[in-house]
Amino acid sequence: MQRSVLAGLADVVCVLAFVVIGRAEHDGSGGPIGFATTLWPFLAGGAAGWAIGRVWRRPEAIVPAGAVVWASTVAVGMLLRVVSGQGTALAFVIVSLVFLGVTMLGWRGVALLRARKVAAAK
């Protein structure tokens, strides 16, 4: 259970970093409301990915867990942005895919390398 909680927090941190950096780069006016407006669709998408992929079973796995969470975070996040009247410019979609892919799959890759190193040391 602790692995799942930490993995879930790591995914949330990836989304938070994406939103913080994005809003800072693109005149993130609107204060906390603007921040929350940008954040919620991606958090909901990530949660959907966790449920769809039953990620709690092997949360550190790049495939399928990481791939499902990443794809769902972006796809559901963009869909919710459309439904809520927010923008989904092609460049934004591409940046979302790249940033969230690098971070969400990246932390899992680091965890995998660490686990292999620990196993080899035994």
Task: Express each pLDDT in 99-114 by its tens digit.
Answer: 999 999 999 999 999 9
Number of folded domains that form the chain: 1
pTM: 0.94
Token pair 């921040």: residue: 35
Domain extent, residue 50, equals: 2-121
Percent of the chain with pLDDT over 90: 90
- Mean pLDDT of all residues belonging to the chain: 95
DSSP letter string, the chain: -HHHHHHHHHHHHHHHHHHHHHHHHTT--SHHHHHHHHHHHHHHHHHHHHHHTTGGGSTT-IIIIIHHHHHHHHHHHHHHHHHTT----HHHHHHHHHHHHHHHHHHHHHHHHHHHHHHHH-
pLDDT value of residue 77: 98
List the end-to-end C-alpha distance of the chain, in Å, as a whole number: 24
| 23 vs 38: CA distance, rounded Å | 8
Query: How many residues are there in the chain?
Result: 122
